[in-house]
């Protein structure tokens, strides 16, 4: 090989070494950030919520309860079919009775498309009844937008629960009627995919998601101050809204049986 060829090969090898070094540095930074986030989360993992169980009645100033969407005992009531959130469907189930379409279960990926198909199939629906432990925020927002575009009301009956992302569907009703024995609650959300992200990426994703939710609530005519309770409540807890709060934030337009 000529001297010129050897020089070109050496430069190519140097370039590859630089690229490998940069990639290695990026990987090391990601590992360090991920490790720091994990270490920061260890106290929460080792010491879960000490709030009362959801079955404990709430009162003004005592409204935060322990909550796991897939495994939380529910307050007993003769009108509720489920004793635990784990008993509810793992994705939304649609059931029609008269002009009411009932949405039951967790909000999962693809449920917004399924809801749109249900609306197209079930002509004559005027109201959507909700009972959900929560789930995907983005799916809930998409369902809510479709619901508002169809000019439907929302409601909750005795014993129904609407937690986590579910209240954003409730907010979309042209009329929002909540039974006195129903429960509505909020907490912090994850907006991205279920993967480990470095802290700065996770914060950016959450900020974008919160901004989207606030714009959505404003468009639905709901007071965005509602979000103070979501932002202040950890994901393993739920803040249960009282009657005056439901009406004051305009999340409900009426409390009625």
Considering only CA atoms, which of 218, 230, 217, 222 is closest in space to residue 186? 230
Residue located via tokens 């649609």: 94
Considering only CA atoms, which of 61, 239, 100 is closest in space to residue 162? 239
Per-residue pLDDT of the chain (257 residues; tens, 9 = 90+): 555 555 555 555 566 665 555 455 555 555 555 554 444 444 444 447 889 988 899 999 999 999 987 777 777 766 667 788 888 899 999 999 999 999 999 999 999 999 999 999 999 999 999 999 999 999 999 999 999 999 999 999 998 999 999 999 999 999 999 999 999 999 987 654 433 434 444 455 666 777 899 999 999 999 999 999 999 999 899 999 999 999 999 999 999 98
Nearest 10 degrees: Cα torsion 125, 215, 156, 52: 160
Residue located via tokens 């009657």: 243
**CATH fold for domain 50-255:** 2-enoyl-CoA Hydratase; Chain A, domain 1 (3.90.226)
Q: Does the global pTM surpass 0.95?
A: no
Burial 147-181 (b: 16+ CB within 10 A, else e): bbeeebbbbbbebbbbbbbbbbbbbbbbebbbbeb
Considering only CA atoms, which of 168, 114, 104 is closest in space to residue 136? 168
């Amino acid at each position: 090989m000529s001297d010129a060829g050897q020089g070109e090969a050496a430069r190519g090898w140097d370039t590859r070494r630089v690229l490998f070094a940069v990639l290695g540095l990026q990987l090391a930074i990601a590992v360090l950030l991920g490790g720091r986030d994990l270490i920061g989360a260890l106290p929460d993992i080792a010491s879960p919520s000490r709030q009362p169980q959801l079955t404990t009645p709430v009162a003004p100033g005592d409204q935060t309860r322990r909550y796991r969407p897939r495994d939380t005992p529910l307050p007993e009531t003769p009108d509720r079919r489920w004793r635990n959130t784990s008993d509810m469907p793992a994705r939304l189930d649609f059931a029609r009775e008269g002009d009411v379409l009932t949405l039951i279960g967790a909000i999962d990926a693809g449920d917004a498309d399924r809801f749109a198909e249900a609306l197209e199939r079930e002509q004559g629906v005027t109201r959507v009844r909700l009972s959900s432990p929560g789930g995907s925020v983005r799916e809930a927002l998409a369902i809510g937008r479709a619901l508002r575009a169809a000019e439907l009301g929302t409601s909750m009956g005795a014993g129904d629960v609407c937690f986590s992302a579910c209240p954003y569907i409730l907010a979309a009703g042209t009329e929002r009627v909540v039974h006195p024995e129903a429960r509505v609650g909020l907490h912090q959300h994850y907006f991205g995919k279920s993967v480990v992200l470095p802290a700065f990426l996770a914060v950016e994703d959450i900020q974008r998601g919160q901004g989207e939710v606030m714009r959505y609530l404003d468009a639905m005519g709901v007071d965005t101050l509602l979000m103070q309770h979501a932002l202040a409540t950890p994901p393993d807890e739920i803040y249960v809204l009282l009657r005056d709060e439901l009406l004051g934030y305009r999340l409900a337009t009426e409390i009625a049986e």
